Homo-oligomer: A and B are copies of this chain.
Amino acid sequence: MKRPRTSFVAGLLATGACAASSTPVQAADPLPSWNEGAAKAAIVRFVERTTRSGSPDFVLPAERIAVFDNDGTLWAEQPMYVQLLFMLDRVKTLAPQHPEWKTQEPFASILKGDVRAALAGGEHALVELGMATHAGMTTGEFERTVGEWIATAKHPVTGRPYTEMVYQPMLELLAYLRTNGFKTFIVSGGGIEFMRPWSERVYGVPPEQVIGSSINTKFELRDGKPVLVRLPEISFFDDGPGKPVGIQMHIGRRPIAAFGNSDGDLQMFQWTAAGPRPSFCLYVHHTDADREWAYDRTSSIGRLDKGLDEAKARGWTVVDMKTDWKHVFPFELK
């Protein structure tokens, strides 16, 4: 997504006009933003063979568990993870209460506007940032903070609210699966409490079906009123080999369908594919530098390298965003 804003918008309008002319066909198609092709056909074939009564691959509704990565799978993760952008904004907002941040990294660099220098501290810098912005308040206070931020913050490239930077084809896929009796879960490396305040409204996924990374909380009575205080201690990291662990912890049964976009989803796919029932794994491959971004094997965000090889070896579905998706974002349809 490197085009200047004006041609980007013009492109969207052109796409939107095209979409409007084909409305009647779309009405009957549960996946109207998917071009006809191998990916769409594979999705429909899997859903039909696992849900059609009498099919040898029929799966009981209770066992139709579908898990979705979030960053890069349901919404855009470029030029930075949204939650990192949230942290940067929070550091600026909270800075007046932390005069020490003027000289303390990674905060000092952020306050000077040098994100690259701030993140040069690697994982340690990220954990510092996370704890300073995610801990030390109650769960209720954090939920309100996220809710207010997500309602007002804008994507640095498109100027759109982040909740509009979601993928229209994936919204259709979520709805299509639910219509066919699947229970849809988010399984993300992102913070569980960062997603819950808006996941139901944006994705139709209720808080109890959101799995993510977390910090510890502690029950306290404050003036007789019970609160849960967010502590500066990482409880669970829901990425890579953590994803099957998170799935077992929260769901307690193995998914039959898994959707992701990076090597961080590989173990979730392996776990899904190793079950006794038919299974379906799908990688979203970011190949569209015009409408979105193009990145895979060497990207520091959402690297897809081992996963791409294993997908090819095992016949998992790989979505070529550029050719498989008629539209990328919902605002293209307006």
Give chain A's interface residues, CB within 8 Å of chain B.
Answer: 62, 65, 139, 183, 192-193, 196, 200, 206-210, 214, 217-219, 221, 225-226, 228, 241-242, 244-245, 248-253, 267, 270-271, 274
Contact = CB atoms under 8 A, between A and B. Distances in A.
9 contacts: A65-B208, A208-B208, A217-B248, A219-B242, A221-B270, A226-B244, A226-B274, A228-B271, A250-B250
A248 B139 contact: yes
Contact of A62 (B183, B200, B241, B244): B200
A245 B219 contact: yes
Q: Which 6 A-B pairs have the closest CB atoms?
A: A207-B252, A219-B241, A208-B251, A226-B270, A196-B252, A219-B244
A169 to B, nearest CB: 26
A196, A209, A245 — most chain B CB neighbours (10 Å):
A245
Nearest to A247: B228
Copies of this subunit: 2
Contacts of A252: 192-193, 196, 207-208, 210
A214 B249 contact: yes
A139 B249 CA distance: 11
A244 B228 contact: yes
A225 B271 CA distance: 9
A228 B245 contact: yes
Nearest to A214: B249
A69 to B, nearest CB: 16
Nearest to A219: B241
Contacts of A248: 139, 217, 228
Nearest to A274: B226
Contacts of A217: 245, 248-249
Given A214-B249, A217-B249, A226-B267, 14 more contacts: A139-B248, A183-B208, A196-B252, A207-B251, A208-B208, A208-B209, A208-B250, A208-B251, A219-B271, A226-B270, A226-B274, A228-B244, A228-B248, A228-B271
Contacts of A221: 270
Nearest to A196: B252
A62 B206 contact: yes
A248 to B, nearest CB: 6
Contacts of A270: 221, 226
Contacts of A271: 219, 226, 228
Contact of A267 (B196, B219, B245): B219
A155 to B, nearest CB: 25
Contacts of A242: 219
